[in-house]
Amino acid sequence: MKKFACIVTLSLLFPVGTRGQTVVEGAVTDLLGRAVDAFVTVRPKGAGGILAYTDTDERGHYRLSFNTQADSVAVTASGMTIGNRVRLLANRSQRVDFRVSEQQMELREVTVRAEKIRQQGDTLNYNVAAYQQQGDRVIGDVLKRMPGIEVSDNGAIKYNGKAIRKFYVEEMDLLQGRYGLATNNINAQDVATVQVMEHHQEKKMLRGKEMTDDVAINLKLKNSAKGTVAVNTMVGGGWQDPPHTLPAREGAVGNQTLTSYNVFAPFLTGRAGGGAVLWTAEAVGMYFAKTRQNMTVYKGNNAGDDVSRELTSHYSINSIPLYPFCPTGVIMPSGSGLSQKRTFDNRSNIVSTNHLEKLSPDKEMTFNAAYYNDRIRREGYAESNQFLSEADRLLTQETMTSETTLHNLSAQARYCNNSSGAFLADVLKVDAGWNTDRVSSLLSSSRVDVQGLPVADYGDEQVAQHFRRPTLSVSNTFNTTQAIGRNHFDLHFSAGYARRPNTLTVGIEADPPLAIPVREGAESDSEDVTSPSFSANAGGGAVYRQDLTSHHIAARFNTGYNLRVGDYFKFNYGINASANLHGIETDLDGFTPPADGGWQDPPHTLPTREEVVSSQTLTSYNVFAPSLTGRVGGGSLNDLWYNTYTLALGQSYKYEIHDFSLTLGLPLELYAQTLDDRVRDDRHGYVHLLFAPSLSMNWSITRDLWFNAGAHYSKTVGDPGGIYSGYIMSNYRTFQRSYVEQLSETQNLGAQASLRYRSAIHAFFANAGFNYRRTHDNQIYGYTYEGATSVVQGVNQPTVANSYSLSGEVSKGFDFLRSTIRAFAGYSLSASERLIGGQLYQYHARAVSGGGNLSFSPFEWMGIVYSTGFSFNWSKTLTDTASPQTGGWEGTTVRSHTQRLSMSIFPTKKLTLTLAAEDNYNNLTATHRHAWFGDAAAKLKLKRVDMELQLNNLFNQHRYSRVTYSGLDIFTHTSQLRPRNALFTIRFKLL
């Protein structure tokens, strides 16, 4: 009985029993019973290849024996005279005879003509010659035309919606993530094939064992480009029209009229004047051999080309993140949203050297160093129209000019032993920067009622900001994976140190107060405005100096033991530990700290304020500094160490069959924080137990179609930004302190799903994704206003935010007209709450975006690229004053649209002419809603020399305005553009 029970139990536990060997035999004969020369194969029904095969003998007999777990099998008799005859059978030993008539073999005739994309397992091979056009110089130009591959403006590459995780040249990672150097400098004609490797596993020892979802790109060079030193150089010069100064005032933002001043000219005199001489130069040396690779690059220009993008690291080496605490910065002109070349006023130089030495087939050393120097000037004008209360709005205008000087040096050395038996890598990394920002600006602000009539005018201020922000960081990362039988053990250890000794100095000078037009009957609060703003300086101004030195020491230790259990299960257990030590020393001069050292409630009583205010942030326009200093407490010094430690038991459980995997993560983390505030002589600590479960699923539905989905939950406690009791000048408008009495708690719940499809044969790629995120906080930041002063504070009131997004993308290559088409679309929805003036408002935002591009060649002598993109953004807030017809919702739609048409003509094989036109539209811009740009270029390719003449901004557009809207506030940013310019370059190959 016990034996029977055991058998039953085992049968229940292992419902899929192991099948024995199956034997299928029989004969293949013609209709007359004569033997046929054939062979017989067997395969599982559905997916899967041939398991066994045999020939028929002289009597037509055959016998097949095989093992498979499939319920059914397909037995096929094949031969040149009979074609393929298939029988579906149950998977059991049996006799199967085939009586067949003669049948002509079916054959799809094929002639390969430079196959554009070729699939080989998980690797897609893009034939570079098939996508290259006459005007293309570097491989990055050709990558943009390949279906399924997307190159973003910053040089990052995505394949079918996924960012690539590795970039190789001849299967070696010379550039360690800075692959912009390769895509912008390796000649297209030197590359035979671009390989996209799906499910790429970097560690050789795990290939075929641990499948990843990572994508890598490998450039296969032509033989002529291997083993030879190539040196390419370029020099060029040009001329740029004189810049236009920004106008005094645009006149309107949305439906609100702004008053006008004419005080901006003095700030712009530095930029106004004659035209400018442009220059550009580069020298690129490359060597790619089997055991050694080198790429050394110098590039410099003042022509608006942001060469520093080539130094952007697009994937990390899994080094420890270092972020020395620094909440200080300057307020600068914001970006235009246009292509950076339109606005970038630069004097850039980069030098980079990269060397790889292959010590043996498995071992390699890599060294990368880069230096970047730049002087960037920006000029802009910003307007904001902000909701103060349901009766009033705050209008501000600010004109700014800035100059940023950058000196950044980074170096990295890596050793890697990547063999089929073990993996070991160690990376030593050093980064240093000596950077400064200088900004001059003029700020004016006023308050208006809902009809736009002025209530108060807060005058003008001239502001000078100077920020020195040197940084230094050093880190080392070690990783090894060792095989232990069929299991493997992974160990990761990284440690680093970073330091920021920064100083922000601000000088503010108030212009004489202006006569304030006050509407009749309105209560005047002008006495606050007319009082001297900067009592600290008898001359009517103030100087603030913020010194901040922060240190970050970090270490991380992860282990993982991967255990295979049976054929279908993998368990992973590990101990993970980390330590983050933040040292913060600050000293603020020129600011008088509040006398009482404590927080006083703002005038508007917050409805649900319960306990201690956890953090305080004062955002003040400085005309109100005296009134604030009288009622806000706290010192101007900080000297503290804020440390966090984690110790976690990592555990994950994976069920995997060949097409499907399900992973459950159940990490358990002990999280500790300590604060040692030496100014307040305060020491305390917190300990929490955190749990962050996750579930993910991957399913290969077919060979070309994948589905994955996942969900996760996590909780974070505390915030490094909520720890300091002394005031810090975040920027000249904001003096902030933040002190933890009760820790913030944030719970995150997220879910995602994505579907990806690719067909190499049809050059068709598609992907779609869905994301959901829910955040629950125990605190919310509330905004209250006194005059033009906004006060931001956190209060202990729970709040929930939800967001949903859908996105999709398709791309397809056609042989017809050598065309490639790409289209994308996205939709997002979010719902959250805002606390303004003590009242809670519901806030909803929706966005729809879409676009695409089309590249085709209607004739051999012409190539056309058209790209377009649009976005509609709706955001609205539930208010009492909104029209009942809208259900109480108040909001606006922002529509923007951009399109660009570029046409290249090839009159001869040596000459390429390119004309491009571009339109940018925004429906909320008061004037110039359409901004048109025109560019032209001519390239002449001779035997050893290439010449190019570029004419940019032919219509001489001199400014561009971008409007954004967030429920109740409207922001307009106007940027000064690079004027019309011409640049002539000559390229030649030295070696």
Partner 1 sequence: MNRRIISILLALAVYIGAFAQQNQGEVIPSTKTRRGLKEKQVGTTIMHVDYAMNADSIGQEQTYIDKQRLEVGRDCAKYSSLFLRRFVGSTRPTQNGQAILRGGKPGKNNAYWNDIQFADLFFKDGQVTEYVSMPMYHESNDCQFTEPCPPQQWTLTPREEIVICGYRCQRATCRWRGRDYVAWFAPDIPVKRGPWRFNGLPGLILKLYDTNRFYTFEAVGLKKVNGPMMLYDFPYSKSTRQRVRKLQRTLQVNYWKATAQTTQFPDKPFEQLEKE
Residues near partner 1 (CB under 8 A) are 38-39, 41, 43-44, 48-53, 76, 78-84, 105, 107-115, 118-121, 127, 129-130, 192-193, 222-224, 227, 658, 703, 760-761
If the CB atoms of residues 44 and 541 are measured against partner 1, the closer one turns out to be 44
Cα(866)–Cα(857) distance, integer angstroms:
12
Residues 850 and 861 sit within 8 Å (Cβ to Cβ): no
If the CB atoms of residues 38 and 246 are measured against partner 1, the closer one turns out to be 38
Q: Which of 185, 303, 607, 263 has the alpha carbon at shortest distance from 441?
A: 263
Q: Which of 460, 596, 474 has the alpha carbon at shortest distance from 533?
A: 460
Tell me the closest approach of the beta carbon of residue 231 to partner 1, in angstroms.
Answer: 18
Tell me the closest approach of the beta carbon of residue 66 to partner 1, in angstroms.
Answer: 10
Tell me the closest approach of the beta carbon of residue 815 to partner 1, in angstroms.
Answer: 12
Decide the pairing of beta strands 694-700 and 734-738: unpaired
If the CB atoms of residues 142 and 632 are measured against partner 1, the closer one turns out to be 142
If the CB atoms of residues 631 and 762 are measured against partner 1, the closer one turns out to be 762
Q: Which of 544, 582, 644 has the alpha carbon at shortest distance from 328?
A: 544
Residues 981 and 241 sit within 8 Å (Cβ to Cβ): yes
Quote the longest CA-to-CA distance of the chain. Answer: 119
Radius of gyration of the chain (CA): 34
Would you tell me how many other CB atoms lie within 10 Å of the CB of residue 829? 15
Q: Which amino acid is at 76?
A: T
If the CB atoms of residues 222 and 545 are measured against partner 1, the closer one turns out to be 222
Q: Which of 712, 698, 709 has the alpha carbon at shortest distance from 754?
A: 709
If the CB atoms of residues 80 and 687 are measured against partner 1, the closer one turns out to be 80
Local structure of residue 515 (DSSP, 8 states):
P
Q: Which amino acid is at 915?
A: L
Cα(766)–Cα(148) distance, integer angstroms:
8
Tell me the closest approach of the beta carbon of residue 474 to partner 1, in angstroms.
Answer: 42
H/E segment holding residue 493: strand 487-510
If the CB atoms of residues 115 and 741 are measured against partner 1, the closer one turns out to be 115
Q: What is the dihedral of CA 273, 277, 278, 283, to 10 degrees?
A: -150
Instruction: Give the position of tokens 């003998």.
Output: 57
Tell me the closest approach of the beta carbon of residue 676 to partner 1, in angstroms.
Answer: 59
If the CB atoms of residues 132 and 871 are measured against partner 1, the closer one turns out to be 132
Tell me the closest approach of the beta carbon of residue 119 to partner 1, in angstroms.
Answer: 5
Structure tokens at 902: 């570029």
| First vs last C-alpha separation in the chain | 87
Residues 801 and 832 sit within 8 Å (Cβ to Cβ): yes
Strand partners, 945: 988
- Residues with Cβ within 8 Å of 520's Cβ and at least 6 positions away in sequence, in order, are none
H/E segment holding residue 452: none
Structure tokens at 716: 């974070």
Structure tokens at 551: 């240190």
Tell me the closest approach of the beta carbon of residue 70 to partner 1, in angstroms.
Answer: 11
If the CB atoms of residues 199 and 466 are measured against partner 1, the closer one turns out to be 199
Tell me the closest approach of the beta carbon of residue 364 to partner 1, in angstroms.
Answer: 20
Strands, sheet with 72-79, edge to edge from the N-terminal-most edge strand: 52-55, 39-44, 72-79, 83-90
Buried b (16+ CB within 10 A) or exposed e, 6-32: eeeeeeeeeeeeeeeebebbbbbbbee
Tell me the closest approach of the beta carbon of residue 115 to partner 1, in angstroms.
Answer: 5
Q: Which of 819, 908, 817 has the alpha carbon at shortest distance from 135?
A: 908
If the CB atoms of residues 70 and 514 are measured against partner 1, the closer one turns out to be 70
If the CB atoms of residues 73 and 174 are measured against partner 1, the closer one turns out to be 73
Phi first, then psi, for residue 643 (nearest 5°) are -120, 145
Tell me the closest approach of the beta carbon of residue 218 to partner 1, in angstroms.
Answer: 15
Tell me the closest approach of the beta carbon of residue 958 to partner 1, in angstroms.
Answer: 48
Instruction: Give the position of tokens 């996205």.
Output: 826
If the CB atoms of residues 55 and 682 are measured against partner 1, the closer one turns out to be 55
Strand partners, 145: none
If the CB atoms of residues 36 and 443 are measured against partner 1, the closer one turns out to be 36
Tell me the closest approach of the beta carbon of residue 104 to partner 1, in angstroms.
Answer: 9
DSSP string, 594-625: -SS-S----SSPPTT--S---EEEEE--GGGH
Tell me the closest approach of the beta carbon of residue 38 to partner 1, in angstroms.
Answer: 8
Tell me the closest approach of the beta carbon of residue 225 to partner 1, in angstroms.
Answer: 11
If the CB atoms of residues 192 and 951 are measured against partner 1, the closer one turns out to be 192
If the CB atoms of residues 66 and 387 are measured against partner 1, the closer one turns out to be 66
Tell me the closest approach of the beta carbon of residue 939 to partner 1, in angstroms.
Answer: 25
Buried b (16+ CB within 10 A) or exposed e, 484-504: eeebbebbbbbbbbbbbbbbb
